[in-house]
Amino acid sequence: MTIAYPMPVLGEPELTAAEAVLADAGVRLVVGSVIDPAGVARAKEVPVRRVRAFHVNGMGASPSWNVFCIDNTVAFTPSLGVAGDLRLRADLDAMRVVGDQLAWAPAEMFTQEGEPFPLCSRGLLRKTQSCLESQGLSALVGCELEMVLTKADGSPLDGRPWNAYGVSAALDVEAFLVDLIQACELVGLPVEQVHSEYGRGQYELSLAPTDPITAADNVVLTRLIVGRISRRHGMAASFSPLPFADGSGNGAHQHLSLSRGGEPLFSGGQGPYGLTEEGASAVAGIVAGLPEMLGVLAGSVLSAHRLKPGFWSGAFACWGLENREAAVRFCAATRGNPYGANVEVKCVDGSANPYLATTVILGLALDGVSRRAQLPPEVPGNPAELTDVELAQTGTVRLPDGQSAVLSALAGSPLAGRLLGEDIRQALLAVRGHELNTYDNEDIAFLTERFRFAWSL
Ligand code: GLU
Ligand code: MG
């Protein structure tokens, strides 16, 4: 697939076809959502007769949507204030009928004159994907969604002692899981599997790899479906990096593979596990850039409370074959990996904007390829147990620990400025900086409760 940048305006036949799909399905309301730099989904809804205007003209939104914080404070910046207006344009190519007279579409931000707005995260991923394609590369991204189910009021589910990955844990919410899978399949989400996770009340749904924009859209739509189905079952779902102070963290791991002219870069070559020269440089670029990009991938006030050694969240910038403690887990081309070799970036959490997270991962891979980065030796075991000599030999570093260190690294990174653009970097620093200044000294029990549903739909 080749992607156009900026999002084109559909012609008359496509618009008519989209309206016919909605009419046939009996849709009345269309939700068009964007994800802000703090990872929160915001939206406008229109009656179905306005869907054409939602795509062609767009619906109004204040530029300050880009500096809304997880506590609904607005972290105004010199360029994002109370004046001005934007247009959210729904992407009707990506629209899905959800059911019950509802449809959903991802939206992108434009100026009133119809120019792409530089703070639009989906627009940036579109640009990044188009840049990758113009260099003859193509990427597949597959996302995992970890979540913790709660009672409708947000308190923990009652239950018997929890068996991690247990059949009992799945059967306890059997009706929910059956409805969830069915609802996902009905909207065309490529569900690979669902399972009960390690932490009490924690479940995971993984999605098959697809092109980058669709992968990020799929994360948003899956969260929307999870939200609808959990409500129906008298529950709620938290995607927070740490929903409960004494519970497990939620990752939002992303799997990436790259190919050139149909030939994979992560297998069939002369490097370790069959990495090609370009593939090795792409992996090297990701590993090297993670410390300065963590503010995009796991930048919230709760993120550091999840990203600890020993929890399979990938707290060390290094890579290793099937290594669950490495931020970059290499999955080789075996019969067990039908989509081929890929890398799993594990340090991403549920507070990240998925469009920005994928933009950064692709950007780091491209950066590695363009500067022919050298892949350091792999870390085959637990990076926390490496000696100083081994740390140096493998170039392994602990990812910045704490929101202050994470944001300083982002602020000081020339690469972040290049991959994100200065506007998005400043918006990220504004909203995450507000979290840091306001909540850094709060205790973890308060924080987990206050922001348990900030990243839910
Ligand atoms: N829950 C872990 C995290 O926070 C991941 C566990 C796993 O699936 O490996 O990333
Ligand atoms: Mg998992």
Contacts of 39 (CB under 8 A, 6+ apart): 70, 300, 350, 351, 352, 353, 454, 455
Distance of alpha carbon 38 from the chain centroid:
11
Residue (of 408, 422, 144, 141) closest to 295 by Cα position? 408
* DSSP helix/strand/coil, 66: helix
Task: Confirm or reject: Cβ of 367 under 6 Å from ligand 1.
Answer: no
User: Are the C-beta atoms of 87 and 452 separated by less than 8 Å?
Assistant: no
Which positions ≥6 away from 334 have C-beta within 8 Å? none
- 256 Cα: distance to centroid of ligand 2 (angstroms): 16
DSSP 253: -
Concatenating the DSSP letter of every residue in 327-351 gives EEEEE-SSTT-TT--EEEE-S-BTT
Cα separation of 299 and 351, whole Å?
7
Nearest ligand 1 atom to the CA of 307 is 4
301 alpha-carbon distance from chain centroid: 17
Ligand nearest to the CA of 297: 1
pTM here is: 0.98
- Which residues, at least 6 apart from 11, have a Cβ–Cβ distance to it below 8 Å? none
Q: Which residues are near ligand 2, the ion (C-beta closer than 5 Å)? A: 204
Residues of 57-87 as b/e, b for ≥16 C-beta within 10 angstroms?
ebbebbbbbbbbbbeeebbebeebeeeeebb
- Closest-approaching ligand to the CA atom of 195: 2
What is the C-alpha separation between 389 and 115, in angstroms, rounded?
52
Give the pLDDT of the chain (457 residues) as one tens digit per residue. 689 999 999 999 999 999 999 999 999 999 999 999 999 999 999 999 999 999 999 999 999 999 999 999 999 998 898 999 999 999 999 999 999 999 999 999 999 999 999 999 999 999 999 999 999 999 999 999 999 999 999 999 998 899 999 999 999 999 999 999 999 999 999 999 999 999 999 999 999 999 999 999 999 999 999 999 999 999 999 999 999 999 999 999 999 999 999 999 999 999 999 999 999 999 999 999 999 999 999 999 999 999 999 999 999 999 999 999 999 999 999 999 999 999 999 999 999 999 999 999 999 999 999 999 999 999 999 999 999 999 999 999 999 999 999 999 999 999 999 999 999 999 999 999 999 999 999 999 999 999 999 999 9
Q: What is the Å distance from ligand 1's center to 452 Cα?
A: 17
SS3 content of the chain, % helix, strand, coil (to 5): 40, 20, 40
In short, whether 308's Cβ falls inside 6 Å of ligand 1 is: no
As a three-state string, the secondary structure of 387-406 is CHHHHHHHCCEECCCCHHHH
